[in-house]
Structure 1
Amino acid sequence: MVVAYRVKEARALERRYDLDWIKVLATGLVIFYHCTMFFNPWPWHVKNNDIDHSVILVLSLLIGSFIMPLFFAISGISLYFALQKRSIRVLLKERLLRLGIPLLFAVWVLSPPQVYIERFASGQFTGSFLQFLPHYTDGLYLDIGGSGNFSFAGHHLWYVLVLLVFSAVLVPLLIRTKNSSAAFKGYHLILLPVPLSLIKVLAPTIQLGGYDILFYLAVLLYGFYFLKDRTFTMVLEKYSTLLIAAASVSSVLWVTGFLQQWNVLLLAAVQVLYCWSSVLLIFHLANKHLSFSNSSLRYFNEASMPYYVLHQPIIVIAGFFLRGLDLSVALKFLLLACIAYGSVAALYHFAIKPYSLPRILTGLNGKSRKKHIKSTPEEVSLY
């Protein structure tokens, strides 16, 4: 009995390389998505002089509808594994340091240039950046185009702030059920999106990244209770054809409905269906094809947090200087993407990875790991 239990426990704590790959690829994709925000017709901090209503808008619709729920699903799974070996105090202290410090760094260092560029580009402020700095604390920055300047959520690091709040509120409750098992079943494919659709339509709280924070809370809890279970991958394998069909059909319906301005309730249901089926399909494909490690994964798994922290201010600053150039949208997009990926890669490799202080400011341990140590799933992601 004891041997069987130990074997089961060891299997439960096996490294989930597929989750590492999802985190790495999702981080790369969110950089791509924020590059599209410079060109699409939606409000953003700085916009190109030529707005694209076709290909880039469609890409924004497709990526933006699942990318943040995917992060919260990973965070829910990571939270489950973290609670298997950490006390409440240790876990909350770790998250406060690894997430709170990058958040403060974003609030006081990375956000002021972004707010200034937004105000300058829109004509809300006409002076220099140094002249703007004393006004950075004038009012709370609540939305693009608003009047407040102080970005208490660190702009794109609102996700980190929300995750910190979720951790502080949920961990004392979730630790009581950390050993409970709510195995993922086939009917969950149909039932679990229903609450998400209701939240999407009815939730009156805070909208971030296209969804309400209650939506993200539900997805995180799904990760904690359902998606971490080994039966989850078995169910996805069994219904993989259905997932592919659902993701494909719902993607067409979502884009079509958005462009044709369908009824709000119908459009919300279609978006949730696309989001849910896409997230599950990504988990399935990663488990099937990316359950391995190599040197690239080891490098970028550590780099993903600094990439996430640094990328948006680079895109905003680069976009500010690119917006007036007489170039095609395609060429300018390629240029912006190269600047974004190239800059974060260079900053991480040469200015962050080797040094303790930059590592801490961007969410890493103070010392670089010289050798890869095989770790357990709770270390898969702090975000």
Structure 2
Amino acid sequence: MEKKRLYYLDHLRVILTVLVLIHHTAITYGADGSWVYEDVEPTKGLSVTVIILTLFTAINQSFFMGLFFFLSGYFTPPSFEQKGAGVFLKDRLIRLGIPLIFYTFIIGPFIQYIVRFRNECSFGRYYRKEILTFHSINIGPLWFVEALLIFSILYIMYRKFFSSSHRTTRSFPSNRSLFYTAVGLGVSAFFIRLFWPTGEGLLGLQFGYFPSYILLFIAGTIAYKQNWLEQLWKETVKRWGWIANTYANKWLPH
């Protein structure tokens, strides 16, 4: 049986990819955040440009990477069921592990050397001192690949010991459930950031953002198993769309 392609998810991925590019471009030209290259000199006080770009990145950060994890979670169960645990793990290690290693030990060190160390020492000396000793491990934008590889391994363990391949049809969560989930997510992120503020983490993973990443990856797997996207009502979309538009009109500059 030929699988029906979900074109609206393709469109969503394209939009999210564009947002990623704009997000890091905004950081390059003044928005608050961390990126390998910043084109503007630090200034005292806040300019209009900095405020607008930072507002954009703050709102963008609240949802765009989480949606990537949701989509990754949504397509994980069918891939696992089609390939089986062994082949699925091998595929993840090839598709995710090889790019991660290549960036960490080849592309990342070269970028870091050009941006920060080229005037201090030779590339060979930098590589021996920082990379081969693991003193400086730069995962860079491949943190998403790293996190997805970890999530995939945990998903394999879960499916092997706790879950079956049976697929059911259940209604999309109610507005009340979505509201309580959003509140709980905000509270959990707040407490985690008391210990790991924004910008801090381990091996490129900023833990303050991970409550939403973990939740949405799990939600993606459940959405596939329970056919949530096929059960999504127009009324739900309209209501949350109205909330988003009301927020945007009230708080965003015109």
Q: Secondary structure at the match of 1:150?
A: coil
Q: Give the TM-score of the pair, scaled to structure 2.
A: 0.77
* 2:174 maps to 1:186: yes
Aligned ranges for residues 122-271 of structure 1 at < 5 Å?
126-137=120-131, 148-151=135-138, 154-174=139-159, 176-181=163-168, 183-187=171-175, 188-203=177-192, 204=195, 206=201, 208=205, 211-226=208-223, 229-251=226-248
Partner of 1:36: 26
Match of residue 45, structure 1, among 24, 36, 57: 36
Taking CA–CA contacts closer than 8 Å with sequence separation of 6 or more, which of the two structures ends up with the larger relative contact order? 1
Bigger drift between 23-32 and 156-165 goes to 23-32
Q: Secondary structure at the match of 2:25?
A: helix
CA distance in 2 between counterparts of 1:70 and 1:194 reads 18
* Cα deviation code 1:106-165 (max 9, x no counterpart): 1112101232245349xxx6234454232332765xxxxxxx4222xx211011111111
CA distance in 2 between counterparts of 1:158 and 1:254 reads 31
CA distance in 2 between counterparts of 1:21 and 1:27 reads 10
CA distance in 2 between counterparts of 1:99 and 1:134 reads 26
Consecutive unaligned residues of structure 2, counting only runs of 5 or more, are 43-48
Match of residue 116, structure 1, among 113, 130, 146: 113
Q: Give the TM-score of the pair, scaled to structure 1.
A: 0.53
Partner of 1:67: 64
CA distance in 2 between counterparts of 1:97 and 1:62 reads 34
Consecutive unaligned residues of structure 1, counting only runs of 5 or more, are 1-9, 141-147, 257-383
In structure 2, the CA distance between the partners of 1:108 and 1:235, relative to structure 1 (3 Å rule), is: same
Bigger drift between 161-170 and 203-212 goes to 203-212
Q: Which amino acid aligns with 2:156?
A: V
CA RMSD in angstroms comes to: 3.0
CA distance in 2 between counterparts of 1:155 and 1:27 reads 16
Size of the alignment, in residue pairs? Answer: 234
1:43 is displaced (CA, Å) by 3.7
Q: Which amino acid aligns with 2:120?
A: T
* Cα deviation code 1:59-91 (max 9, x no counterpart): 222222212101100011011221332211111
Match of residue 16, structure 1, among 6, 27, 44: 6
Bigger drift between 127-136 and 85-94 goes to 127-136
In structure 2, the CA distance between the partners of 1:68 and 1:128, relative to structure 1 (3 Å rule), is: same
CA distance in 1 between counterparts of 2:153 and 2:104 reads 20
CA distance in 1 between counterparts of 2:225 and 2:63 reads 18
Q: Which amino acid aligns with 2:166?
A: N
1:180 is displaced (CA, Å) by 4.6
Aligned ranges for residues 288-303 of structure 1 at < 5 Å?
none
1:45 and 1:115 in contact (8 A); partners too = yes
CA distance in 2 between counterparts of 1:61 and 1:97 reads 33
1:138 and 1:150 in contact (8 A); partners too = no
Q: Which amino acid aligns with 2:26?
A: T
Q: Secondary structure at the match of 1:239?
A: helix
* 2:80 maps to 1:83: yes
